[in-house]
Amino acid sequence: MTNAIEVQQRRPRVAVVGGGLAGLAAANRLCEGASGVRPEVTLFEAGDRLGGVIKTEHDAGFLIEHGPDMFLTKPAIVSLCERLGLADRLIATNSENRRSLVLRNGRPVPIPEGFSLLSPGNPWAILKTRLFSPLGKIRLGAEFFIPARRDDADESLKSFATRRLGRQVYERLIEPLVGGIYTADPAKLSLNATLPRFVEMERKSGGLIKAKLAERGNATQSSAAGTGARYGMFASFPNGVSELIGRLAEQVADRAIIKTSTPIQGIDHTEDGYIISTENAPAETFDGVLMAASAQTTAKLLRQIDEKTADLLDGIEYASSAVVVTCHRLEDINNPMDAFGLVIPSLEHRKPLAISYTSRKFPGRAPEGTILLRTFLGGAMHPEILKNSNEELLHITLHELDAIFGLRAEPLLSRVVRWDQAMPQYNLGHCERVDQIDLRLADFPTLAVAGNAYRGVGLPDVVENAEQAAMKILNAI
């Protein structure tokens, strides 16, 4: 009888594997509990720090983001900030210079006003732009008359954009603007998995221009919305994105056990639960496990439990990239730097994918009279550049910045940040693959996966996915 009472009173134990944003958000949601259930949570992180790709550094008055420098203010992440007491810390992007540029014939030119990802903007702005030739503009306008695709098969970004907007618009704008976000090969990038809104626009309205006209009948766009990206919808924190990680880590540490520098050696599933083995400690048994590591690591650890799920996870490819941070005096650059950033088409034959004018986006990122730039290299299309040493990557970056902007002096400060196999590739069929993973895991009610490899690479998508995974376990234990 005593043993039965102890079993009834014992709180269920849940392990979270991975201490990036997904793992912390999931652990936090598990600690909050649901329906009167609040499990004991243990978070395992292989590395010596939490946050994953989110890391903020402060040096000589510069705020240096090693990873993401802002995020869309979608409901999931805003709700999390509210629950963490961070809502009043959110800051919007600067209202000045809220636009993006694209490199054309070696010179930065503005993206046409209102052009957002795949959606054409102000027709007068398109007529005036130097970005497209007269024939390119005519082909873009002809999108209105192109019939909608009839089948529902997945389509790549390249196929969709060239079919609807023409090859010139794709090559000069869409490829660098959208492909660069995912550091992906646009010929493989799944539109259903990355930009389903545009698939729906074609399906419902018959085309992108028709959908845009329908939208104008329902709402008016702010003139401060910006071009290229919806900058008015982005936010960060005064001390960088790591503020979110810091507060999450504090909240989780108060209610759970966090074990850093503790890589998982193996996970077994028995009738008693999930047995997790680490290198320097006895194995522990848990009622549930939430995997918030990379898809590749998750595949390795789950292979003993379900080989088919592991195979599906292993099929998610990753790309590597590097971010080269350079800080300059404004007087040392022969360019007004009056934008938030510059994207670079492949046809320009330059080394960078994009250059973010980071200190133009938010206040407090650089001292007065200086600018902080982040240059992105590598990705699925240019992996060979990452074979260079850090010193060589810095040299390449400075050469490229000089060619594009004109530099009069060496940078005040620099950093080279590498992200090895950190960017999941949402290739064609990705949605179906993730659906199959979910279907397989339905047989394991207290086992879930979360992270940027499944249903969105943006920080808000990661938070939403992580909290949904946590709820699956909470509802089952």
End-of-domain residue from the set 205, 227, 249: 227
* Domain shared by 202 and 309, yes or no: no
Dump the DSSP string for 203-242. HHHSSHHHHHHHHHTT----TTS-SBS-GGGEEE-TT-TH
End-of-domain residue from the set 227, 251, 272: 227
* Domain shared by 167 and 257, yes or no: no
Q: Is residue 259 part of a domain?
A: yes
Q: Is residue 339 part of a domain?
A: yes
pLDDT at 225: 45
* Domain shared by 308 and 437, yes or no: yes
What domain range is 466 assigned to? 2-50+241-316+427-476
pLDDT at 219: 53
- The pLDDT of residue 221 is above 50: no
Give 385's DSSP letter.
Answer: G
- The pLDDT of residue 175 is above 50: yes
The pLDDT-based confidence of 121 (bands split at 50, 70, 90) is confident
Give 93's DSSP letter.
Answer: P
The pLDDT-based confidence of 115 (bands split at 50, 70, 90) is confident
Summarised one tens digit per residue, pLDDT across range 415-459 is 999 999 999 999 999 999 999 999 999 999 999 999 999 999 999
pLDDT at 4: 46
The pLDDT-based confidence of 222 (bands split at 50, 70, 90) is very low
Summarised one tens digit per residue, pLDDT across range 140-172 is 999 999 999 988 899 999 999 999 999 999 999
Q: Please report, for residues 90, 132, 431, 433, the alpha-carbon distance to residue 267 in angstroms, rounded to integers and kept in the order given.
A: 39, 55, 27, 23
CA dist., res. 460 & res. 437, Å (int)? 21
CA dist., res. 71 & res. 460, Å (int)? 7
CA dist., res. 34 & res. 30, Å (int)? 8
pLDDT at 224: 43
* Domain shared by 296 and 437, yes or no: yes
pLDDT at 280: 84
What's the number of domains the chain is made of?
3
| Mean pLDDT confidence for 6-26 | 89
Give 346's DSSP letter.
Answer: G
Q: Could you tell me the CATH number of the domain that includes residue 43? A: 3.50.50.60
CA dist., res. 411 & res. 404, Å (int)? 15
Q: Please report, for residues 30, 81, 234, the alpha-carbon distance to residue 259 in angstroms, rounded to integers and kept in the order given.
A: 16, 24, 32
- The pLDDT of residue 122 is above 90: no
Q: Is residue 27 part of a domain?
A: yes
| Mean pLDDT confidence for 354-364 | 97
CA dist., res. 368 & res. 323, Å (int)? 23
pLDDT at 5: 45
**pLDDT higher at 61 or 229:** 61
If you count them, how many residues does the chain have?
477
The vertex-401 CA angle with 396 and 402, nearest 5°, equals 100
* Domain shared by 9 and 148, yes or no: no
pLDDT above 90 as % of the chain: 88
* Domain shared by 431 and 312, yes or no: yes
Which of 215-224, 388-397, 420-429 is predicted least confidently?
215-224
* Domain shared by 141 and 191, yes or no: yes
pLDDT at 231: 61
Q: Is residue 64 part of a domain?
A: no
Neighbours of 472 (CB within 10 A): 22
* Domain shared by 41 and 142, yes or no: no
- The pLDDT of residue 64 is above 60: yes
Closest C-alpha to 328, from 370, 357, 374, 365: 370
